[in-house]
Amino acid sequence: MKKRIVLALGGNALGDGLAEQMQAVKTTVKAIADLIAAGHQVVVTHGNGPQVGMINQAFEAAAKADSHTPMLPMSVCVALSQGYIGYDLQNALREELLERGINKPVATLITQVAVNPADPAFLNPTKPIGSFFTKEEAERLMRNGHTLREDSGRGYRRVVASPKPQDIIEKETVRAMLEADQVVITVGGGGIPVLVEGNHLRGASAVIDKDWASAKLAEMIDADMLIILTAVEKVALNYGKPDVQWLDRLSPADAHRFIEEEHFAKGSMLPKVEAALAFAESKAGRQALITVLSKAREGIAGKTGTIICQ
């Protein structure tokens, strides 16, 4: 059965540096092309951790060297990362499809994601970004409106909020591209965080979790399946312990229970399970799959991975 799929790539699908990313996407697009060749409609989303950090640090270094050079807002850093990651992905995927005789347009969409200004995350920014600053440098930056915190005696770092996504601004464009039988790369790095102020969209000092943003996109374009890719083939209880238990299928009730019992690591598997659960519960018949990139096609067929569905 052909499906509309949102495929959320993990960090290992992109590599860290420029050269590593160009090499990594050559492998990544083969698995994406397999899904397209099988007849599925595919929307690709991705993270941007190393890439947005590199962009941010470059402009921080420029600001340190020249006081007239501004530090870029986080929203602009995310936009830049969407462009250059998308550039590599779309070219590599286009080439892979053409080599298979599939003539299908592939395009990257610079995507904004609305967040709630009243989200509690804005009251306590915790996501560290960029390089370290001295106390004097930090005080100057804080006077200019940036939030910095001391980091384990190593100096001061900027911190930003990580609010939940509320709306995908370009969702109609994504749907239109899909209806035109195009492959869309979108919501890169969780999307550019924006605050809706009347007709104006103002960039927010924040980063959005890409799995949560991917789940919101999948919901809003009426996808059949959300695939969240990670470094392990299945979700597990007691991960890394002798009594590890790999999970083939999770009901929403079991997923909620395991989350409450704190079975999943906060910095890695927890947001993936929570985002997958949110999509699976958004409408009857929707499924979320968590697995590794190389097993995505088998996971869709129910042969591996962890499926979360009602």
Q: What is the pLDDT of residues 182-213, one digit of tens each?
A: 999 999 999 999 999 999 999 998 999 999 99
43-81 in b/e form (b: 16+ CB < 10 A) is bbbbbbbbbbbbbbeebbeebeeeeeeebbbbbbbbbbb
In a domain, 139, yes or no: no
Report the CATH number that the domain containing residue 95 is assigned in CATH.
3.40.1160.10
Residue range 133-161: mean pLDDT, rounded: 83
Q: Alpha-carbon distance 299 to 289, whole Å?
A: 7
Whole-structure pTM value: 0.90
Q: What is the pLDDT of residue 215?
A: 98
127 is catalytic: yes
Dig out the tokens for 197 from the structure. Answer: 């102020």
150 belongs to a structural domain: no
Q: Which of 171, 216, 234, 272 is catalytic?
A: 272
Residue 138 covered by a domain: no
Active-site choice (10, 130, 189, 210): 210
Rg (CA), the chain: 20
Is the model more confident about 70 or about 290?
290
User: Is residue 33 pLDDT above 90, yes or no?
Assistant: yes
272 is catalytic: yes
The reply to whether 203 and 240 lie within a common domain is no
Q: Which of 181, 200, 223 is the last residue of a domain?
A: 223
Whether 26 is a known active-site residue: answer: no
Based on the domain organization, do 211 and 192 belong to the same domain?
yes
pLDDT given at position 91 = 96
Instruction: Please give the residue range of the domain that contains residue 260.
Output: 231-309
Angle at the Cα of 305 from the Cα atoms of 304 and 310, rounded to 5 degrees: 110
Confirm whether 39 is a catalytic residue.
no
Q: Does residue 121 share a domain with residue 35?
A: yes
User: What's the CA gap between 17 and 49, in Å, rounded?
Assistant: 11
User: Which residue of the set 12, 155, 164, 203 is catalytic?
Assistant: 12
The pLDDT of residue 12 is above 70: no
Residue 298: the pLDDT is 93
Active site residue 295: no
Domain identity same for 104 and 178: yes
Residues 178 and 296 reside in one and the same domain: no
Residues 293 and 179 in one domain: no
Tell me which of 3, 30, 104, 127 is the catalytic residue: 127
Residue 267 has pLDDT above 80, yes or no: no
The answer to whether residue 152 sits within a structural domain is no
Q: Any idea how long the chain is?
A: 310
